[in-house]
A and B are shown apart, each in its own frame.
Chain A
Amino acid sequence: MTPLDRRHVLLALTGLAAGAATPAVAALPEIDPEGARRIGQAYLDSHPGRRFDAGRLQGDLLPDGWTPEASARLRARAAADFRAGRLFIHRGWRLSDTEGRLFALAALTPP
């Protein structure tokens, strides 16, 4: 597994946002990197008992790196999180746990 750089993690987050109909995720402006890092840190802080590292998170979320197919899979996973009530609530925003983990990966991945 090749380690990802933060840009690819941000692309994965953008792909989540873009909706299934959007063809060219890479052409979209990427998610604010500093914002993503801070939200990711908040996710890590909200799980004080657990140890996260970039490798394990990447293996879980993006084992083959970022691809358009990965976006579709992550979208389905986020929807399943909502269905199951696996949420990450940050500053009142109700996000899926998968989104929280992607932000955490962004925080743990070098720029």
Chain B
Amino acid sequence: MPFIDAGDLPGDSEIVADLIVIGGGMAGLALAREWAGSARSVAVIESGGKTFDPAVQDLYRGAGVMRGPDSPDQPFDDYVGQSRRRMLGGSGMIWGGKCVALDPADFARRDWVPGSGWPISRAAIQPYYDRACDLLEIAHFPPGETGLDVAGKPALAIGDRKAFFSAPRRFTKFSGGVDKAAYDRWRFAPAEAANVTVYLNANVTELRLAADGQSLARLDLACLNGRRHTARGRVYVLATGGIENARLLLASNTVAAAGVGNGAGLVGRHFQGHVVFSVDDRKGGRTSGVYLSGTDNDMTLYTDGSKGAAHCVFAPTLAGQKARRGGNCTITLNSFRTPAPVDPELAALQQLAGGVDRGAPVARADRDLSCFVMTEHAPNPESRVSLGDSSDALGVPRVKLEWTWSEADWRRLESSVAAFGQALGEAGLGRLAFPAERSRYLAMAATSASRHHMGTTRMHRDPAQGVVDDTSRVHGVDNLYVAGSSVFPTSGIGNPTLTLLAMTMRLSDHLKSHLARAA
């Protein structure tokens, strides 16, 4: 079916379909593609149009703060609006396309990481990862901690690989920022199917519960031109992104005052994000880096930062995390060229670690690497999305983000750094420099925040501990499901989109058999 502009429909139109997908971003469109050509009718309700419109984007504006122990709060208002894109294709219009599967450890219950453990194992999600990779036209990721051989780039090993393994990332071209034409084909494709209709400029303003509160009765829609409509389906999938999913559930409070699916008060809590910890002060001789001593590590194989090249990333094994009761982390290596150090201490340190390539006037890119560290942001109920005091142009309360780090997160970062430095030294491979002080962590985090929004509708079989069950259905609401990284119980370090697409494939299969059974 062609695209339909909801602003052109007669006022008070009712959209009816078997499956209603709220949000035409990466998750929503991936789901619609799965249903294209099936016997079921599908309606995708998308807030934006095909092109960017500042008035639509303004609906995402909100307030934000990043908090951490012993540091002044960091203002974060801009992040709330700028870290996502409200239009057909969603944040996929600007994402980097960096993909990786989460590690087996991310799915495991780790009794030393509170709130950890997915109700799905890494092995069980593998077929969906494979389908998500096919959708993005990238090679599959193997299921274990085996490291990854990319053509001509053998998996880097540190010692016996017991503590760290090589976990490179890959890039897809399907991003508005990478290959606009390819992504346009991707985002327009679902509407080519006869059974799929994509409604543009249609904003869901409320998920309207039936009077008994046990199911959704309809959606309320509003257009920026003033038209209002409704939509009714047999099942609904909320796919508006990791912040907006929580906002819509909370703002849908006509029938249940706390919002939809919020009986346990968990909607919006456990927000998790990814940030980068690194120091880059070459003049001052303070740069986080890895200095390799061996002669047989041609690191140029791994440190080509261009799109399409595998990135050199190390991650701790589950056994390694358990041994130090630490969380997940990654250490990403990049080649860098630095002037010969003027500071004699730094010169001595680099020489000791093999870093200056035996007196070569400049460091060699194949041996001298800067690095950045990412640490798992553990689920924390105080880290949350809630409703703010002001409302957007459609009367929906704006969002307030309180991104909160704990002392335990900092400890886990430090233990990861220590473990990596130790593994390098123990294997005789080199030395690690990480000249970062705790007092600077929050500032580093605030200036390096990834646009990965996770955990606000976390998945757990127990309704007291999660917003959605292990099929992604909102606890207590029969016909409402959530797609996207908001369902992640823990964030891991991996870029989330491949995983959220894999989970969307899994949800799609579940819904197909659910509707078939219901028929």
Contacts and interface: CB of A to CB of B under 8 A. Distances in A.
Interface of A: 13-14, 16-22, 28-29, 31-32, 34-36, 38-39, 75, 78-79, 81-83, 85, 87, 90-96, 99, 103
Contacts of A87: 418, 421-422
Contacts of A18: 293, 354, 358
B295 interface: yes
B352 A94 contact: no
Contact of B348 (A21, A35, A78, A94): A35
A72 to B, nearest CB: 11
Nearest to B279: A92
B432 interface: yes
A16 B431 CA distance: 12
A29 B351 contact: yes
Contact of A91 (B293, B349, B353, B426): B349
A17 B422 contact: no
B72 interface: no
A78 B425 contact: yes
Given A19-B428, A35-B349, A78-B425, A94 B344 contact: no
B352 A82 contact: no
A84 B294 CA distance: 22
A81 B426 CA distance: 8
B296 to A, nearest CB: 8
A6 to B, nearest CB: 12
Given A17-B353, A18-B354, A82-B426, A92 B348 contact: no
Q: How large is the interface on B (under 10, 10 to 19, 20 to 34, 35 or more residues)?
A: 35 or more
A101 B324 CA distance: 27
Given A19-B295, A34-B344, A81 B425 contact: yes
Interface string B349-390: 101111000110000000000000000000000000000000
13 contacts: A13-B352, A17-B353, A17-B354, A18-B354, A18-B358, A28-B358, A38-B344, A79-B427, A82-B423, A91-B346, A93-B435, A94-B425, A96-B425
B224 interface: no
Interface in B104-145: none
Contacts of A16: 352
B372 to A, nearest CB: 14
A39 to B, nearest CB: 6
Interface of B: 279, 285-286, 288, 293-296, 343-349, 351-354, 358-359, 417-418, 421-428, 431-436
Contacts of A83: 422, 426
Contacts of B418: 87, 94
Given A19-B295, A39-B348, A93-B435, 13 more contacts: A17-B351, A28-B358, A35-B343, A35-B344, A35-B347, A78-B428, A83-B426, A91-B346, A92-B279, A93-B432, A94-B431, A94-B433, A95-B349
Nearest to A82: B425
A32 B347 contact: yes
Contacts of B427: 79
Nearest to B294: A19
Contacts of B424: 82
Given A19-B293, A82-B426, A31 B435 contact: no
B428 A35 contact: no
A46 B358 CA distance: 29
B346 A35 contact: yes
A79 B296 CA distance: 19
Contacts of B358: 18, 28-29
B414 to A, nearest CB: 11
A39 B345 contact: yes
Nearest to B425: A82
B422 A19 contact: no
A18 B359 CA distance: 12
A21 B292 CA distance: 13
Contact of A94 (B343, B354, B359, B434): B434
Contacts of B288: 92
Contacts of A29: 351, 358-359
A17 B435 contact: no
B344 A79 contact: no
A36 B348 contact: yes
Q: Kindly list the 4 A-B residue pairs having the minimum CB-CB distance in the complex, ordered from nearest.
A: A92-B435, A35-B348, A82-B425, A35-B344
A81 B422 CA distance: 9
B352 A85 contact: no
Contacts of A78: 425, 428
A54 B360 CA distance: 32
A26 to B, nearest CB: 13
B434 A38 contact: no
A110 to B, nearest CB: 18
Given A21-B294, A79-B426, A82-B426, A95 B352 contact: yes
Contacts of A32: 344-345, 347-348, 351
A92 B353 CA distance: 13
A21 B352 contact: no
